[in-house]
């Protein structure tokens, strides 16, 4: 049985602002979303139907109705935030698609673009491109035209979308397998010589349509896109935490699509930690613990990067003693990068944050503190 969120955790997670929702105030993510919808609607001339839905969804809609196997690793509590045995915080915007398809089956139209945007909840690493609460949008064209959708239509969809949001940007795709698509792909966009993943797509799986009540006369294109990364690429924003910054000189720039103008850069501070953790812990697990432990101060942690990993069974006795580690754990060397958006962190500030990160991730019985709290 999956572990459930506590009442306090659920209240906190549901209170996080959804930057794609105009009801929560204006944000540039809404402008990126508008560009995406306009590019496809203008290209196809089809009806547009928006479906936002709730942040809590059924496990069936998040997984089963999209074709995920019952033993899929993504169902593990390290990746999923369960509210109870039957509901969870949506882990991707695709969780909104089954309900949107059911609504289409109840009120059919021959050619529709389904738009399902919102904040989602992930277990993720901490770096400039990743956050535990990213914003996504699923864009599905569902039609019962005589000729079923093909990969040529998919190519046209991706080209139109990238051109509509990032004019002139180069993109590529690589084959990927998704339970809810056929001929699945990952889409990357070039940013100064670095390929950045922005979307996953494919032909809508007939079984997903069928589960929602749409028979074999229907076909479709399925695409899920990361809105945060698209905005970062469009405006030249270097770090994803800036999208939620309350610093006035940064927040004022998050209401339009003009190029980002760097504010006075605060110096970064690095702290390296040697910790003992469970053998199956990943960077995503450590990042999630840090976010939970630091709360609002998590914005000061720019990156938590694993530099090296060593099974504790291979460590000399003195190293095991220093860590208070068990032989079935592993020793991880972490690089922690600290930076405050609008002030310089003192050494004491940095050491206190370092100790809070250390307490959140270290699972040995011996602790080594950098500062006295």
All domains of the chain in start order, with CATH: 7-235 (3.30.930.10), 269-361 (3.30.70.380)
pLDDT of residue 373: 45
> Digits of tens for pLDDT over the chain (373 positions)?
457 999 998 999 999 999 999 999 999 999 999 999 999 999 999 999 999 999 999 999 999 999 999 999 889 887 899 999 999 999 999 999 999 999 999 999 999 999 999 999 987 666 667 788 999 999 999 999 899 999 999 999 999 999 999 999 999 999 999 999 999 999 999 988 999 999 999 999 999 999 999 999 999 999 999 999 999 999 999 888 889 988 888 899 999 999 999 875 677 889 999 999 999 888 878 887 887 788 778 778 888 888 999 999 998 988 889 999 899 999 999 898 888 766 788 888 888 889 998 999 999 999 988 875 4
364: its two tokens: 């040995």
The 3-class secondary structure across 285-297, one letter per residue, is: HHHHHHHHHHHHH
Of residues 148, 211, 198, 140, the one with CA closest to residue 169: 198
pLDDT of residue 372: 55
303: its two tokens: 């990156």
- C-beta of residue 171 within 8 angstroms of C-beta of residue 188: yes
Q: Is 13 left (phi over 0), alpha (psi -120 to 50) or beta?
A: alpha
- Work out the end-to-end distance of the chain between its first and last CA atoms, rounded to an integer number of angstroms: 37
The rounded distance, in Å, linking the Cα atoms of 355 and 350 is: 9
CA distances 289 to 3, 18, 172, 187, 357, Å, are 15, 22, 34, 30, 8
| pTM of full prediction above 0.85 | no
195: its two tokens: 């390929």
The rounded distance, in Å, linking the Cα atoms of 37 and 113 is: 8
- C-beta of residue 241 within 8 angstroms of C-beta of residue 251: no
pLDDT of residue 330: 94
Of residues 277, 338, 282, the one with CA closest to residue 306: 282
68: its two tokens: 């995920």
pLDDT of residue 132: 85
Q: 3-state class of 303 per DSSP? A: strand
- C-beta of residue 327 within 8 angstroms of C-beta of residue 320: yes
The rounded distance, in Å, linking the Cα atoms of 237 and 228 is: 10
Q: What angle do CA 122, 302, 332 make, to 5 degrees?
A: 75
The rounded distance, in Å, linking the Cα atoms of 311 and 330 is: 4
């Amino acid at each position: 049985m999956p572990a459930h969120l506590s009442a306090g955790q659920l209240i906190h997670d549901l209170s996080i602002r959804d930057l794609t929702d105009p009801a929560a105030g204006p944000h540039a993510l809404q402008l990126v979303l508008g560009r995406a919808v306009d590019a496809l609607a203008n290209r196809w001339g089809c009806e547009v139907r928006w479906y936002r839905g709730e942040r809590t969804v059924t496990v069936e809609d998040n997984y089963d109705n999209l074709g995920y196997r019952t033993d899929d690793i993504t169902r593990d509590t390290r990746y999923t935030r369960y509210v109870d045995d039957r509901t969870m915080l949506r882990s991707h915007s695709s969780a909104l698609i089954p309900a949107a398809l059911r609504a289409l089956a109840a009120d059919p139209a021959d050619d529709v673009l389904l738009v399902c945007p919102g904040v989602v909840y992930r277990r993720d690493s901490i770096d400039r491109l990743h956050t535990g609460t990213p914003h996504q949008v699923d864009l599905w064209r569902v039609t019962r035209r005589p000729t079923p959708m093909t990969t040529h239509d998919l190519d046209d969809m991706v080209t139109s979308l990238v051109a509509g949001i990032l004019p002139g940007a180069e993109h590529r795709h690589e084959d990927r397998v998704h339970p809810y698509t056929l001929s699945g792909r990952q889409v990357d966009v070039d940013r100064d010589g670095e390929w950045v993943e922005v979307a996953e797509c494919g032909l809508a799986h007939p079984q997903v349509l069928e589960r929602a009540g749409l028979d074999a006369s229907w076909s479709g294109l399925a695409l899920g896109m990361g809105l945060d990364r698209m905005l970062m690429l469009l405006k030249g924003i270097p770090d994803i935490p800036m999208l939620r910054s309350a610093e006035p000189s940064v927040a004022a720039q998050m209401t339009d699509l003009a190029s980002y103008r760097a504010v006075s850069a605060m110096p970064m501070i690095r702290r390296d930690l040697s910790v003992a953790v469970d053998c199956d812990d990943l960077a995503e697990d450590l990042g999630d613990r840090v976010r939970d432990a630091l709360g609002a101060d998590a914005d000061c942690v720019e990156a938590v990067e694993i530099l090296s990993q060593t099974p504790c069974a291979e460590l000399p006795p003195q190293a095991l003693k220093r860590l208070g580690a068990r032989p079935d754990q592993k020793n991880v060397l972490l690089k922690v990068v600290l930076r405050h958006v609008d002030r310089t962190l003192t050494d004491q500030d940095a050491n206190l944050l370092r100790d809070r990160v250390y307490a959140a991730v270290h699972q040995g019985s011996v602790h080594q503190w950098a500062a006295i709290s």
